[in-house]
Structure 1
Amino acid sequence: MRRAVLSLCLIAACWSVSACGGDTPETAASSAAPRSTVAAMPTEPRAQLAARAAAAKDLRQVAAYTFKSPKRPDRRVVVTRAQDGTWRIDVPGGAHSGAVDIALVFAGNALHQCALAAGNHPYSGCVRIAGALPAKADLKIQHLITDWQNMLTDRRLALAVAEVAPLPGARGTCYSVESSAASMTLPLDAGIYCYEIDGTLTAAKVAFGTLLLEGTPGLAPPSVQLPGPVVPGNPLPLTAPPSPKPSPSTSASPSPKA
């Protein structure tokens, strides 16, 4: 009888230990910290800038910038990047030494320079550009949202990138960009580029001037349209052509002596 009771106690004790032991792995598993599914942000400045420039390619928004350029009053530039990939950049006083407001518009798979009706230029018209804008008509602002983004993401390009103090009024992170090869000329302007982590360009200080984002970008329209009809001709140059010299007047000839 005593042996039977002892056997039952031993069996009960084994069940108790087994039950306690079975709970231990479950408790440990439930208390383990979950693995992070978020990729770590790059720490190298070149990689950080490349990541922001890559994100910028996918942005669709309307952003206004204060544009400061040498020997010109501050201007308000509006950059529209539509949902369908078309875009428009409005630049007051962008041609003829500030006399003509223009818009650069990419629509219909082609770039256009459009003169806007304002002031002493009472009509609108768009010139279709075959290839790139000629240097004498190139404001360069459009490169900040087109080909220069590709260059900032190209790790084969000889760029030296460093994080720098933010430009006055700029949000996000700012990076200085210059050539890492003294004998090489960069295909983009060396300077300072500032981006939010989502790819929004908040400021840029480059050879042609400085842009600073105003407020928060707005929602993008479905598409952009040309602000005027397509007309034949050449794009308007940045600098106004010289005024024609007056022809000599016959009245200016010395009168014969009496």
Structure 2
Amino acid sequence: MRSRRVGVTAVTVTTGTALAVITGLLLAACGGGAPVDPPSVPATGVPAQPDPRGMLAARVAVAKDQRYIAAYTLVVQGKAPRSVLVTVAIDRTWRVDIQGGALGGTADVAIANRPEGVYQCPINPSNGCVKVAASNKKLPVSIDPRLQYVFIAWLDVLLDRQVPLAVAPADPLAGTSAPCFAVEPGVTAVQPPIDAGVFCYNDRGILAAAKIPMGQLTLTGDPAPAPETISLPGPVITAAPLGTSAPPPPKPSSSSPSVAPSISRSR
């Protein structure tokens, strides 16, 4: 019987190519198909951390779509709790009633926004409403209770990524279990568009609590359905609005002239 010689052809390959060739030969020998790439692994192997500002913005975006009537308690250090009633109507008009919102806490006022302007309205008793600004604009500092911004203007600030803000998770405030976030305006802002504070929104996008320079707001009970539009608590009048500061003490009456005591001299 004639012997047969089997020729062997040498192939020069790199290490990576050799591994691929060997893997292919093994799969072919086992009757498998094309080699399967191994699953990709992140370069760092560390899962991405949640973005606090993005988490807060997601809840604020829901809040912007809400229409409701909600009651809050405002606790200011060293003072009795005050009530705050917030109405955001279906037509986007809004009204915030603030117990002790004027005259150093001695007068109740409502700040109401309609297409024709922003009004300050004394309540309990109502003395009419005074137009104090254009619609959705800030009030003059001397008459501005600032609480209304928490529910309206500051939502746009929290959603705007162009506004320099530092946002971090915060411990829940007393009276709520909703997620809370500490917000600090950028140090470069000459006039910060938002006050520093802690803001807590529930899953429905309702502000559950907030701790701001004015005090701590806490939601009391479930919100009620919103009206079609807000109503002013009195007629529109022309008058001076109430300031936020306490009025100066009354001056002593000068109706009766003072009489200097007479001094008798003995002779």
Whether TM exceeds 0.5 here: the answer is: yes
Q: Secondary structure of 2:101's match? A: strand
TM-score normalised by L of structure 2: 0.74
Partner of 2:43: none
Q: Secondary structure of 1:184's match? A: coil
Whether 1:101 and 2:108 are equivalent positions in the alignment is yes
Q: Which amino acid aligns with 1:77?
A: V
Tell me the distance in 1 between the aligned counterparts of 2:117 and 2:177: 33
Deviation at 1:107, TM superposition (A): 2.1
**Per-residue CA shift, 1:48-92, capped at 9, x if unaligned?**
111111211111011111111234210111101111111111111
> Is this contact kept in 2: 1:127–1:231, CA < 8 A?
yes
Report % sequence identity.
42
Aligned pair partner of 2:59 in 52, 57, 68 = 52
Tell me the distance in 2 between the aligned counterparts of 1:183 and 1:150: 19
Q: CA separation of 1:105/1:182 partners in 2, compared to 1, >3 Å: closer, same or farther?
A: closer
Moved more, 161-170 or 130-139: 130-139
> Is this contact kept in 2: 1:57–1:145, CA < 8 A?
no
Partner of 1:184: 189
Tell me the distance in 2 between the aligned counterparts of 1:250 and 1:56: 61
- When the two chains are superposed, the root-mean-square deviation of aligned CA atoms in Å is 1.9
Q: CA separation of 1:89/1:182 partners in 2, compared to 1, >3 Å: closer, same or farther?
A: closer
Q: Secondary structure of 2:148's match? A: helix
TM-score normalised by L of structure 1: 0.76
Whether 1:169 and 2:169 are equivalent positions in the alignment is no
Q: Secondary structure of 2:221's match? A: strand
Q: Secondary structure of 1:142's match? A: helix
Partner of 1:12: none
Structure 2: gaps (5+ residues): 1-48
Whether 1:125 and 2:132 are equivalent positions in the alignment is no
Q: Which amino acid aligns with 1:55?
A: V
Structure 1: gaps (5+ residues): 1-41
More helix by share: 1
Deviation at 1:124, TM superposition (A): 2.4
Greater Rg, structure 1 or structure 2? 2
Partner of 2:259: 253
**Per-residue CA shift, 1:174-211, capped at 9, x if unaligned?**
000113x4443532111100001331111110111110
Deviation at 1:247, TM superposition (A): 4.4
Tell me the distance in 2 between the aligned counterparts of 1:187 and 1:249: 50
Tell me the distance in 1 between the aligned counterparts of 2:154 and 2:94: 15
Moved more, 58-67 or 131-140: 131-140
> Is this contact kept in 2: 1:171–1:195, CA < 8 A?
no
Q: CA separation of 1:184/1:105 partners in 2, compared to 1, >3 Å: closer, same or farther?
A: closer
Aligned pair partner of 1:148 in 146, 154, 170 = 154
Q: Which amino acid aligns with 1:243?
A: P
> Is this contact kept in 2: 1:107–1:226, CA < 8 A?
no
Partner of 1:35: none
